[in-house]
Every structure is written in structure tokens, then in C-alpha cells.
Amino acid sequence: MNLPNKLTIGRIICTPVFVLLYAFDLYIPAFVVFLAASLTDLLDGRLARKYGIVTNFGKIMDPLADKILVYSAFCMFIDKSLMPDWMLIIILAREFAVSGMRMVAASEGKVIAAGTTGKIKTILQMVAVHFLILSSYHNFIYICGEVLLWASLVMTIVSGAEYIIKNKDVFSM
């Protein structure tokens, strides 16, 4: 197994560690684990492209690892009343819709690549999580996290609409 794929697996393994630390109000260690996991997301893709070791495993598991990490954090935020539950429902509905479209397209031999708005959504979500983990330390940090969370929700809706519009032919397969 190549290094980028190991980093992706590492991100998945970091998720329960982050969840446990955060659940026990160990916010600084939780922040460090989440930050390290987030950095592996930047690193694994760059290494895979730079060294030409892009794999089918990586294409599938890299975005899945991101979702596992970020949406686990969102669940923790709901528990601590930092995020409304309806917001996560909208985010998950978009993810299921886009993933479903990708599966249908893949069954027909078509690949639906991640778009720019989807990448922006992911970045906003990850950065929002960093702020919200530390939100108990200062109100300004909480406000920044909230603004980023709302911006990520807007991009969730925009990118979801973009996927549907650009790939409407998937519905006629």
C-alpha cells in the first residue's frame, strides 16, 4: 500500500480518537488530532499526483475519509449545541444525493469528478470544525466558526445544485 493511501487510512483512524477526546472535553488534544488528520488530506492527494500513484482506492477512500472525519465532528457539535441538527441533515442529504449520482454514473462507466464548489465546501467545513473545536475558549472563535459553518452550508447547497444541473443526464440512464 502506498503512502497516500496509508495517510487516508490514518485519517479514518484519527476519527474515533478525535471523537473520544472531544467527548471528554479535551479540546486542545482534539484540535491537534483533527488538525493532523486534516493535514493528511492535503498531503495524500499531493503525493499521489506528484508521484503518479493515484489509485482507485484513493479516489474512493480519500473523500470518504474526509466525510467520516468532518461529519463525526458535526455530530459532536450537535451534542454540544454548537450546530443545529437540521443543518447536518441538509449536508448529509446533499452528500447522499451526489454519492448516489456518482454510483449511477459509475455503473455506466462515467466518472463525475469533484467540482470547485465541492472542494470549497469541504475546505470551509474543515476550517469551521477547527474553530468550533476551540469555540469554548473565546466568543470571537465561536463567531468565526459559526460564520464558516454557515458559509459551508451555502456552498453545500450551491455545489449540490451544481452537481445535479451539470449531471442531469445521470437521471436518464
Grouping H, G, I as helix, E, B as strand and the rest as coil, residue 127 is helix
Query: Considering only 19-33, 91-105, 159-173, which range has the smallest mean pLDDT?
Result: 159-173
* Backbone conformation region of residue 25, classed left if phi is above 0, alpha if psi is from -120 to 50, else beta: left
CATH for the stretch 3-172 = 1.20.120.1760
Whole-number average pLDDT of the chain:
92
pLDDT at 11 over 80: yes
pLDDT at 173 over 70: no
Grouping H, G, I as helix, E, B as strand and the rest as coil, residue 36 is helix
Using one digit for the tens of pLDDT, what is the confidence trace for 28-81?
A: 999 999 999 999 988 988 898 889 888 888 888 888 999 999 999 999 999 999
What value does the mean pLDDT take over residues 139-159? 97
- 4 burial (CB, 10 Å; 0-12 / 13-18 / 19+) is buried
Using one digit for the tens of pLDDT, what is the confidence trace for 99-141?
A: 888 888 888 878 777 789 998 999 999 999 999 999 999 999 9
- Residues 6 or more apart in contact with residue 157 via CB below 8 angstroms: 90, 94
Contact in structure between 153 and 91 (CB atoms under 8 Å): yes
All structural domains of the chain with their residue ranges:
3-172
C-alpha–C-alpha distance, residues 15 and 65, integer Å: 9
User: What's the sign of the alpha-carbon dihedral 51, 42, 23, 156?
Assistant: negative
pTM of the model: 0.91
